[in-house]
Amino acid sequence: MKTNKRDSMISPSMLGPIIAWVIAILAITVVVPLQSATGKSSESGASATQWSVQVDQVDPGTVDLSSAFQAAIYENLLQELSKSKQFRQVLRDGDRKANETPNLLVLKTTVEKYTQGSETRRAATTVSGATKLTVRSQLVTRDGNVVLERTVTGEVRFFGSNMRATHNLARNIAKAIKESSWTNADQPTATATGQL
């Protein structure tokens, strides 16, 4: 079968929409990354002071909490605060760099309530066996001024190990800090209290 040249060529009436489509694709691939880059640079310039945080060891308070749970809360806090990119540095308790770090806040976490759950009961029924942790978290300046104080909970209600509650708790603490009002100020002076 012989093909007609006219059938294999693009008609002039179709050329306009094709060119418009190509220009639109090029504009999207070039302009969107540029807007993202300028948005990031303006966001970083919005806050003149970049704070660092030192995470203190978890205080069990009057609650009988195993050292494994305390360590898991602590390690998860370090990880979640680093992931939030809210602070210039996230330092461990006792880190020697903390003495030389300007604009340092200290995160103090005290366990207020702990309900030991059961993985077996959670697997068998979804209405019982939840593991729950409630803590009081405080961001404190070097001179002891409380900048932020929140009561935060973490729990595992359905599937997952009991230790998953420590991860959820750390994520909720990082979220509470990120959503708090002190982060918009150069100098944290007002105390924000509340529950999450």
- Domain containing 174: what range? 51-195
Give the pLDDT confidence of 154-171 residue by residue, as tens digits.
988 766 677 888 999 999
Say if 64 falls within a structural domain: yes
pLDDT value of position 7: 53
Say if 83 falls within a structural domain: yes
The pTM score is 0.68
pLDDT value of position 164: 83
pLDDT value of position 43: 46
Tell me how many domains the chain contains.
Answer: 1
Say if 81 falls within a structural domain: yes
CATH code of 91's domain: 3.40.50
Say if 22 falls within a structural domain: no
Mean pLDDT of 26-35: 56
Say if 147 falls within a structural domain: yes
Say if 14 falls within a structural domain: no
Per the structure block, which two tokens stand in for 36?
């993202």
Say if 180 falls within a structural domain: yes
pLDDT exceeds 80 at position 145: yes
